[in-house]
Chain A
Amino acid sequence: MNAVERNSSVGAAMVVGGGIGGMQAALDLAGAGIKVYLVETKASIGGAMAQLDKTFPTNDCAMCTMAPRLVEIGRQKDVEILTLSQVEHVQGRPGNFTVTVRKRPRFVDEAKCTGCGTCVSNCPTRNQVQPLESAPVELEPGRRQAVTDILARHRNRDGPLMPILQEINAAFNYFPETVLQYVAEQTGYPLSHIYRIATFYSAFSVVPRGKYVINVCMGTTCYVRGSQRLMEKIGDMLAMQPGETTPDLKFTLKSVRCIGCCGLAPAVMVGNEVYGKLTRKDVAGVVRKYQEAS
């Protein structure tokens, strides 16, 4: 092989198989500036992962992993998708392959099709599921007003998602599902992304929480000075485990990693109020104070 031949590589790559791995490979290659042919034997890309709910071992939501990649591939101009296609023959050497692909007919001119769906609705033999238009999110008027106000406050802000979610969390004490859907609809953030953020931070919750959130500090100093026993005491008093909420939605019991009151260990925070140097007796008094409060 001479030097000229060695250098005469073509600037394109082929990824065979349009599953999650193939899609990611195609995106990475395209991102690196390489033209990619993505070959898939089925009528659409997506592969087996599209059929899964969760993936092992991390329990990640499969669709959440896949959906952004599907969208990105659709937008990526450097990826050419060859569906209903199969590789028949490969020749050449690294850097310069010639591949023969057999493409089965789709009976639709892909270059002209706009995806309008008219052929589906007019097909006399149609018995398939029709693509649904997403309905606008229904939200109770009271909530809608509150959320609209919050969204309006952050409209022209850089990186508004966190402040929006923080305010919603403060307003409702948790994230009602419809509210998150509404936020997704209004802001244009994918719902999957919003869920990702909403479930990442320990201050957020997607299930209703109590009016008073009791945070027992489990920082090193408090831990060493017996905050575990305060936790047990509160749990006994309210008949609940850490992480739970009382049925009357009054209390939620949680542990928190250091509230920076190590000089007053062990400390407990209820709402924004900090109580320090607590014994089990003291903490009972604190809880009672909130039990009596309306």
Chain B
Amino acid sequence: MPGAPVDSLKRVPLFAELDRREIEQIARLFKERRFSEGETVVREDTGGAAFFLIDSGEATVSVAGAERTSLHPGDYFGEIALIDEGTRSATVTAASDLVCYGLTLWDFRPLVQENGAVGWKLLQSMAKKLRAAEQD
């Protein structure tokens, strides 16, 4: 089936409450995007176009040049700029050859608006990030 692998999406906390049929619908909206090692995936302070789920490979997250964390298969990023239509809050760089599945903002917003469970998971994720930022 085209789109993101359903099994990968099932492991993403954001979609954990959804049944298989709903996940299959969402999976079809994703498109594969490949990045070479060292390539910038998203850049801090630029406008955001897509939300990404890592299928294989690793990436690093940095803010103002300081490395904060690394991302692995099953991790996702890029949702904040899509929610507030602001700029990217961090830079993500491919630490190895990276295969992601991306969901553009054109598909992301209707998905969240039409699916309360996804919206709730996003809120929880945002709340966790807010707490973490307050503790920094």
A and B are interacting partners: no
Hey, which bits of chain A sit against chain B, CB under 8 A?
Answer: none
Hey, which bits of chain B sit against chain A, CB under 8 A?
Answer: none
